[in-house]
Amino acid sequence: MATNITYHPSPVTPTVRSSLRRQQGLTIWLTGLSASGKSTIAVALEQALLRKPYNLSAYRLDGDNIRFGLNKDLGFSPKDREENIRRIAEVAKLFADSCTIAITSFISPYRADRDLARQLHHAERPGGEPGVPFVEIWIDVPVEVAEKRDPKGLYKKAREGKIPEFTGISAPYEEPLKPEIHIRSDQTSVEDSVKIIVGYLEEKGYLSAPPEVNEV
Amino acid sequence: MATNITYHPSPVTPTVRSSLRRQQGLTIWLTGLSASGKSTIAVALEQALLRKPYNLSAYRLDGDNIRFGLNKDLGFSPKDREENIRRIAEVAKLFADSCTIAITSFISPYRADRDLARQLHHAERPGGEPGVPFVEIWIDVPVEVAEKRDPKGLYKKAREGKIPEFTGISAPYEEPLKPEIHIRSDQTSVEDSVKIIVGYLEEKGYLSAPPEVNEV
């Protein structure tokens, strides 16, 4: 569809930007059932990264700021869910490219959609620079436990047939096959979940300032 | 369309985030004809903000990273142009909310679309906090000058009828009535344009670190 568009090289390459911002960008993609604890963990993780000792730029994308804004034209049909995740992946990638840690918190039930998000992030960037890291985290909880929690009463409505295509009840959740991190949220506290995630990011070197480059 | 969505309050309010990031977010919206110099000014402005003495987080949204990604499903019909600008405005707002200076560089020829972008930015944020600043900058050049520049040969193609609905030739450009800044790019160097914009941002206090807040 996009025609008449040419690519403008910028002197601010990804390497130069990371050096100037003293930070690497990446996307942390949380996936799991409704009421699995994704948003709670996302909020706690964002805070941990924003505050000491990290003082990093981090930003959450979730239903609150996406479904009411960018994606307010989309519903919950399979096609709209796919487009919802595609747009979120593209926006997360922009944040990661800008040297922020993007934290997405969406059910994202389909493997194909999550794989597309990963591919978008891993695609080479202009100037032959590599893509950005994509960390898929499965916030796993048995559907029975999620249904008992049901803080918004959504499972109840789904059982009553008032919400069609509700993930885990009347629509599938395709479990991640090889997530970078797998957390059983009914067996792990929010605090420990954040420790596990931050530990992984540290081990990978994602939280360290990148080397300064000469041309800066 | 978006149902079954509830709003999650976060302890990271906009004020807390600005204090932690030592930066305010805002959107700088460049508008003007093709070949008016928007992208050139955007690149130079982004560099100025990223580098000393400012060392701020700034990020450009332009055809390169939007039309090839998020909005690759959109064409150039009036309806698609409107949706293009709506999505860009929503994404810029997310960047501004994350305490980055978003710089958008799109023709954005319709007043109604730019006004919508402004309204989205000015809307109150969760917790009753005010919206984010929106700085509309008209990169103004007579169409004859733009057509002579024609670095991509687009005006030529438009004159030959090979590009339908080309702004300034076969589609309207609605001039901004009250832009925050008006730059005649055929009478102002890129360097001076950046000085004008940065001077405005400084005068408004947008480039200063916000006050630290107690709860941080």
CB within 8 Å: B97 and A5: no
Give the pLDDT confidence score for residue A5 in this predicted structure: 46
**Chain A closest CA to B180's CA: distance in Å?**
25
The dihedral sign for the CA sequence A143, A145, A146, A152 = positive
Higher pLDDT, A101 or B2: A101
Give me the mean pLDDT over the B129-140 stretch.
97
Give the pLDDT confidence score for residue B213 in this predicted structure: 80
For residue range B138-191, what is the model confidence (pLDDT) as tens digits?
A: 999 999 999 999 999 999 999 999 998 899 999 999 999 999 999 999 999 999
Give the pLDDT confidence score for residue A94 in this predicted structure: 98
CA distance A62 to A42: 9
Give the pLDDT confidence score for residue A1 in this predicted structure: 41
Q: Among 1.10.150.120, 3.40.50.2000, 3.40.190.80, 3.40.50.300, what is the CATH number of A14-202?
A: 3.40.50.300
Hey, is the C-beta of A144 within 8 angstroms of any chain B C-beta? no
CA nearest neighbour of B77 among A90, A1, A7: A1
Q: Count the neighbouring beta carbons within 10 Å of the beta carbon of residue A176.
A: 20
For residue range B88-107, what is the model confidence (pLDDT) as tens digits?
A: 999 999 999 999 999 999 99
Q: Among 3.30.70.870, 3.40.50.800, 1.10.10.10, 3.40.50.300, what is the CATH number of B14-203?
A: 3.40.50.300
| Local confidence band at B9 (pLDDT 50, 70, 90 cut-offs) | low
Instruction: For an interface test with B, give the residue of A22, A57, A120 to mutate (most B CBs within 10 A).
Output: A57
| A45 CB-near residues (< 8 Å, 6+ apart) | A28, A58, A103, A193, A194, A197, A198
Give the pLDDT confidence score for residue B3 in this predicted structure: 44
Give the pLDDT confidence score for residue B149 in this predicted structure: 94
Give the pLDDT confidence score for residue A75 in this predicted structure: 87
DSSP output for B7-75: ----S--HHHHHHHHT---EEEEEE--TTSSHHHHHHHHHHHHHSTTT---EEEEEHHHIIIIITTT--
pLDDT at B117 over 80: yes
pLDDT at B1 over 50: no
A49 with A40: CB under 8 angstroms? Answer: no
Residue boundaries of the structural domains of chain A? 14-202
**Minimum Cα–Cα distance from A94: chain B residue:** B65
Spell out, as residue ranges, where chain A has pLDDT lower than 50: 1-3, 5-7
Give the pLDDT confidence score for residue A3 in this predicted structure: 44
